[in-house]
Structure 1
Amino acid sequence: MRLGIVVSEFNYDITRLMLEKALDHAKFLGVEEVLVLKVPGSFEAPLAAKRLLEEGCDAVAVLGAVIKGETDHDQVVAHQVARKLMDLSLEYGKPVTLGVIGPGATREQAAERIEEYARRAVEAAVKAWKRLNEGPQLA
């Protein structure tokens, strides 16, 4: 399996650790090849995910942290990113998973969720890819 990981550099104190956890979990799951593409912020993640899909990745896990500020900007960013990632998954017929903490998360809440979000994004990408390649099973 060739897994792409997109990681946002915004809130890099959080996302750097997410990337480390994601890489560790990919190795644990036996992923053969991992391509990492860093982007300035989560808003740029869909374009990077598309690039990785075009370059032959079987699945893409997206990591980011959209921290609550004084306005609703975090809501706008997180919702649009989630929607575009879902669109890419459907367009390419490949898993594109959401490991973006937020919206509405404080820095402390984001720090508490580093490992959980990173591992879940990678695990969902790997499991979905495997199951889609196995095809439907009789119940």
Structure 2
Amino acid sequence: MSGKGAPELTVTGDTDLRVAVVAAQWHQTVMDGLLSGALRALKELGVPEPAVVRVPGSFELPFAAESLAKSGYDAVVALGVVIRGGTPHFDYVCQGVTQGLTQVSVGHAIPVGFGVLTCDTEEQAVDRAGLPGSTEDKGHEAATAAVAAATTLRAVPRPRRG
């Protein structure tokens, strides 16, 4: 079952981070909930004025995240939703988005909060979107995870160069 086993994240240290949120526009109700949850989390964590970029769909998230990472953001939160249909399109989009966002994170050595819902039904997406009556708030979770990872990495002592 989704939501079971999630860690209780604690953000410690400096939260004076430059954070950007990139959010798809498909499935507006679900996306409104995800974006609201992410922005609420960032405010609770003391992150000053995150940038918000909207893209047409989830497939465009890696491109936008790449551009934001190149611009010097300390973390990016990617929000989207892909709902299974009757064709393999779901599999291609989910795989491309996941690999693309992973590539951005590893290639730029910054956390990318993965707030992309991959659901069988719209009802499952609504239940995870942080809306009234939802059981989960994946936008909030993705933003918290990105900030927690960024602050953790900032606290790691850097080795001195020769």
- Shorter-chain TM range is over 0.9
Q: TM-score, normalised to structure 2's length?
A: 0.80
2:154 aligned partner: 133
CA distance in 2, matches of 1:36, 1:25: 14
Work out the CA distance in 2 between the residues paired with 1:99 and 1:111: 13
Amino acid at match of 2:18: R
One-letter identity of the residue aligned with 1:43? F
Structure 1 stretches of 4+ with a deviation exceeding 4 A read none
Q: Taking structure 1 as the reference length, what is the TM-score of the superposition?
A: 0.92
Q: Percent identity?
A: 39
Report if aligned partners of 2:111, 2:146 keep a CA contact under 8 Å in 1: yes
Task: List per-residue Cα deviations over 1:82-125 (Å, max 9, x = no partner).
Answer: 111111111101001210000x4310000000122101110110
Unaligned runs of 5+ in 1: none
- For 1:107 and 1:4, the matched residues in 2 are separated by 26
**Are residue 94 (structure 1) and residue 115 (structure 2) matched?**
no
RMSD over aligned CA atoms reads 1.1
Contact 2:84 2:120 in 1 (8 A): yes
Q: Alpha-carbon deviation of 1:33? A: 2.7
In structure 1, how many angstroms separate the alpha carbons of the residues matched to 2:48 and 2:42?
9
Q: Distance in 2 between matches of 1:25 and 1:96?
A: 15
Partners in 2 of 1:14 and 1:121 — Cα distance?
15
* Aligned counterparts of 1:84 and 1:108: Cα–Cα separation in 2: 26
Counterpart secondary structure, 2:50:
strand
Aligned residues: 135
Equivalent in the alignment of 1:118: 139
Which of 69, 76, 79 aligns to 2:85? It is 69
Larger helix percent: 1
Give me the whole-angstrom Cα distance separating, in 1, the residues matched to 2:31 and 2:91: 18
DSSP-derived class of the 2:20 partner: strand
| Runs of 5+ unmatched residues, structure 2 | 1-16, 131-136, 158-162
AA in 2 matched with 1:129: A
Higher strand share: 1
Q: Distance in 2 between the 1:24 and 1:86 partners?
A: 24
Residues 37 and 138, structure 2, Cα contact 8 Å, conserved in 1: no
2:45 & 2:58 partners in 1: Cα distance? Answer: 25
